[in-house]
Each structure stands twice: as C-alpha cells, then as structure tokens.
C-alpha cells in the first residue's frame, strides 16, 4: 500500500530532490523504515543513535501530530498524507487598555488610517487598540523588515526592535528596510530613520543589544506582543521561554530556502515552541540561511503573515494561529495547515514545569561559547593567514572543500570538492597520509567534516577558521563573497 510522504526542503537533497515520495507501510513506523531503506542518508537526520525519532523532527498524519495519536504505531491508509516537519528557528489583554476613551486619533491619523476605519472589523476602536499597543520585533533582518514596515504603516503605537548587526551587502537581497547606501551602518539606526519617515505617529524603540538570558525578561516585559524574527536556535528558545514566563504571545516565523513556517505560540491558550520542538538539533545538522540560502521574497511573505497575525491579536478579530502551524512552499505555491497541541510534559508550559527561569541557551543548543583551549582543538584549526603562508611556502597541503557544487562555482580555492553530505560515502577518495585542510563557507560544515574524518582515522586534518568567507575578507579581497 503506497502512501505519499511530503519531504521538506532541507531533506530533499537526500531524496533525489523529490518533494514527495511514495512508500509502502501499514504504520508510521513501517513507513519510516521503508523510507530509510529507500533513502539511507535520511536516517541520521531523522533518527538519533538510540533509534528514536529526533526531538526536533515531527511527523504528521494528515494534519495530526503522531505524538498525540499512537506515535510511530499510528496506522496509515493509502488516502493519508504524511508530513515530516523539522525545526528550521481571540484578542490579547491589551484590548482592555486600548478601549475607547483612553486613546485619541487626530484628524491626520483618521485620514491616514481611513482604509482601516471604514472596515467594520477594525473601525475607530480597532485603530485605537493599534495605537495603544506595544509590539517588540526580535531581529531586524529578513523577517523583521516586512514586519517593521507593515506594523509601522498600520499604526502600532510603540514598536520595539532588537538587533545588533550592521548592514552587509548580502542582506540587501531580502532585507527590504535597507539600501546599498546603508552598507556598514547600524541596522537599527537605518530602521528608525526609515520607519519614522513612513509614520511619524509610531514611537520606534531601538534595543541595540544582544538578547540574553540576563536581559530578555527586562526587555520583553513592557511589550504586549513579541514577534520572533530570529535566525538562530539559541535566541528562538530564549524568546519562547521569556514569553512563557511573562505570559506574552509569541508570533513565530521561520524560513529556509523556499519554505516557511508561521504560527502563534501562546502558553495561556495553547502550545509553546518547546511543545513543538522540545530540544534543538545538534550544531551543524540544520544549516542556517547563510549556508543553505533563502529565496529573497520568502521572508517578505512569511514576515507579512506574522504582521497580519500580530494585528489580528491586537484588534481581537478573526481566528489566530494559536494551535495551528502554517507551512508554505514557495516552489509549489502551496500552504498547508497542521494542528498543534499543548504538550502536558513540556518543561516550561506543561502540567509540571521544570524550567522556572531563563537558562544558558548557547549551552542548551550545544554551541561553543568559550575560546578553544585544549591543544588538540588548537591543532585542528588553521587561520587564513597561516594557510596563505604555508601555501606560499609550497607546503604539501590537500584542500578539501565541503560546500555544494553551486557554491564552488561562485568562488573556490581550487580544492577537491566533496559536499559534506557525500563525505561519508566518498571518504575512500581521500588519502589519510596527506595533511588535509577542510573548508566550507563560514566554518560550520567544515568543523563537522573534521569530526567525520577523525572518526574514520584521519590524523592530520585542520579546519579553516571562518571558511572561504574569511579568506575573501582577510586574504583575497578580489574574491567574490556570497
């Protein structure tokens, strides 16, 4: 009995680029085993070493999470559709405060928002609620740009934005708040200037600081709604936990290549992010947009949906995405809706929570935050300057490039190309007696490759610090960056 299994973008490289495959099976467990048999490389991404489905991977039968059915013993029928969903990063209480009498709209504001005011679902009362609201956007990048633009234009009273980055040329393909003339400037400075020109009635509150466990509760506390525009797992879990502890709704969005996810996490009324993904993937297993890429218009679509959900929460109209997860595939232009359920065993919003304060999220996500100290760690690294000097001396070095072929075409060091996902199968092509220097774009995949090689018995392997991007900025500024 063949059953359709939908494959998310990050995993399609292991299914011959297919977005859907048909597999036989009477239960989810049989189905997944047959899927692994057909595409063996999927196994390490979907299952942990103990043979259990990874905690950051969810499987749905139609729109139901198997965790709330019969788990992997859930029976399946030929008419069912199976979805693999890995992690990729009514109204609210403000309505009472924003009610008629506490807020006034000027004549200019009435004219500005007239297209809202003539809608019975918004009207004067709804626009006053928008003006009285306080919304915080975490991240002023791809998602934060459309969020900030639309929430400012809509008349949100106070808009906080958290970011510490400066504008880079690679941002401009998708971060529509910024222009070529802004390269090198603080994102927050530029955002504040542009947003004030769009709507001088909105108070822009910039927070040019890195959100941490030490300051998150203080920063988030005075806002009504938190909108997650982040691109990394530590901050995503930090935002979630802070929202749960403070009782704030969290409007969530994430993007990767051609796919996006949107929902509203509100632990008062439904699940939180940890209910969906209890723990993060190991470092390096899920590529970031910097390494995996993202279609420029995708954050515009997902960020706009987040802005829509934020406005609906403020005015108290429509059905919010609480308990619903929207998946968007830009290649097929299809939306899918999956049900989310509150996990009674969730460590922060469940029936018996074990998390009562913010934790070290870098450590929780397995990210190295301290400088490398051990001699072995130091010996397994090489700086771009050291590599350049050794190549100039004519040292016998084997350069191993673990990026993808399309990245190699953009720029390369003339190394031997073996994409990281092919390394295990092609390791026989490498000579263990040679000194090998491994690189990728920025260092994430190469560090993983060094581990694979060392486990296979390679003794003399080094990881290029910062990857080919560091080489382009520190050694060869004629090399294109991407």
Rg of the chain over CA atoms, in angstroms?
24
Extended beta strands in 365-410, E state = 381-382, 397-401
- pLDDT-derived band at 88 (thresholds 50, 70, 90) equals low
Mean residue pLDDT across the chain: 90
Task: Please report the pLDDT score of residue 98 as a whole number.
Answer: 40
- Is 243 one of the catalytic residues? no
Q: Give per-residue pLDDT as tens, 90-134.
A: 444 444 444 445 789 999 999 999 999 999 999 999 999 999 999
Which secondary structure element, helix H or strand E, spans residue 189, and what is its range?
helix 187-198
Judged against a pLDDT cut of 90, whether residue 89 lies above it is answered with no
Cross-strand partners of 58:
85
Q: Is 440 a catalytic residue?
A: yes
Looking at residue 95, its pLDDT comes to 44
- Short-list 140, 210, 209, CA closest to 175: 140
**Over pLDDT 90: what percentage of the chain?**
74
Kindly report, residue by residue over 212-259, the tens digit of the pLDDT: 999 999 999 999 999 999 988 999 999 999 999 999 999 999 998 999
CA distances from 313 to 70, 112, 202 (A): 34, 21, 18
Residues 388-414, mean pLDDT to the nearest whole number: 95
pLDDT of residue 370: 44
Rounded CA gap, 152 and 165, in Å? 21
Q: Which residue has the tokens 């905690």?
A: 55
Residue 386 has pLDDT above 90, yes or no: yes
Say if residue 454's pLDDT is above 90. yes
From the candidates 272, 289, 346, 365, give the one annotated as an active-site residue: 289
pLDDT band at 377 (very low <50, low <70, confident <90, very high): low
pLDDT digits (tens, 9 = 90+) for 184-211: 999 999 999 999 999 999 999 999 999 9
Do residues 184 and 167 touch, judged by C-beta distance below 8 A?
Answer: yes
Query: In this predicted model, what pLDDT tens digit does every residue of 7-33 receive, in sequence order?
Result: 987 788 889 888 899 999 989 998 899
Q: What is the mean pLDDT of residues 425-443?
A: 94
d(CA 72, CA 80): 15
> Would the pLDDT of 375 be above 70?
no
| Strand runs labelled E in 311-444 | 324-329, 334-339, 381-382, 397-401, 416-417, 435-439
The model's pLDDT over 322-355, given as tens digits with 9 standing for 90+, comes to: 999 999 999 999 999 999 999 999 999 999 999 9
Contact 325, 276 (CB under 8 A): yes
Domains of the chain: 2-86 (3.10.20.30), 94-364 (3.40.50.720), 375-474 (3.40.250.10)
**In this predicted model, what pLDDT tens digit does every residue of 52-70 receive, in sequence order?**
888 778 899 998 999 889 8
């Amino acid at each position: 009995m063949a059953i359709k299994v939908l494959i998310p973008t990050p995993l399609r490289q292991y299914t011959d680029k297919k977005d859907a495959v048909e597999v036989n099976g009477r239960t989810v467990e049989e189905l997944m085993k047959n899927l692994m048999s057909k595409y063996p490389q999927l196994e390490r991404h979907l299952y942990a070493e103990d043979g259990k489905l990874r905690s950051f991977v969810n499987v749905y039968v139609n729109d139901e999470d198997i965790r709330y059915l019969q788990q992997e013993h859930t029976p399946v029928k030929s008419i069912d559709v199976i979805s693999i969903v890995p992690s990729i990063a009514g109204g609210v209480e403000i309505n009472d405060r924003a009610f008629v009498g506490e807020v006034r709209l000027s004549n200019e504001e009435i004219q500005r928002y007239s297209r809202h005011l003539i809608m019975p679902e918004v009207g004067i009362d709804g626009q006053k609620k928008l003006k009285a609201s306080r919304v915080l956007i975490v991240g002023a990048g791809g998602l934060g740009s459309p969020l900030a633009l639309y929430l400012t234009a809509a008349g949100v009273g106070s808009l906080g934005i958290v970011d510490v980055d400066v504008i880079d040329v690679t941002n401009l393909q998708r971060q529509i708040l910024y222009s070529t003339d802004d390269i090198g400037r603080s994102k927050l400075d530029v955002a504040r200037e542009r947003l004030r020109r769009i709507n001088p009635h909105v108070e822009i509150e910039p927070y040019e600081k890195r959100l941490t466990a030490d300051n998150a509760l203080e920063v988030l506390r005075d806002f009504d709604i938190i909108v997650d525009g982040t691109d990394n797992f530590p901050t995503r879990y930090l935002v979630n936990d802070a929202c749960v502890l403070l009782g704030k709704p969290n409007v969530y969005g994430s993007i990767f290549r051609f796919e996006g996810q949107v929902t509203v996490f509100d632990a008062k009324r439904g699940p939180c992010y940890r209910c969906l993904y209890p723990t993060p993937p190991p470092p390096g297993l899920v590529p970031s947009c910097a390494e995996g890429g993202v279609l420029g218009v995708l954050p515009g679509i997902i960020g706009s949906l987040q802005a829509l959900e934020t406005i609906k929460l403020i005015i108290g109209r429509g059905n919010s995405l609480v308990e619903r997860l929207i998946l968007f595939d830009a290649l097929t232009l299809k939306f899918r809706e999956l049900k989310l359920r509150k996990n009674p065993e969730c460590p922060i919003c469940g029936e018996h929570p074990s998390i009562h304060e913010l934790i070290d999220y870098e450590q929780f996500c397995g990210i190295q935050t301290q400088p490398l100290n051990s001699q072995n760690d130091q010996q397994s690294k090489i700086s771009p300057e050291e590599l350049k000097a050794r190549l100039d001396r004519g040292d016998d070095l084997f350069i191993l490039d673990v990026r993808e072929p399309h990245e190699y075409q953009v720029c390369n060091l003339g190394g031997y190309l073996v994409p990281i996902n092919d390394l295990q199968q092609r390791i026989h092509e490498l000579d263990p007696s040679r000194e090998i220097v491994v690189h990728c774009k920025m260092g994430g995949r190469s560090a993983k490759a060094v581990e694979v090689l060392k486990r296979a018995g390679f003794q003399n392997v080094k990881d290029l610090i910062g990857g080919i991007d560091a080489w382009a900025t520190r050694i060869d500024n004629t090399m294109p960056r991407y």
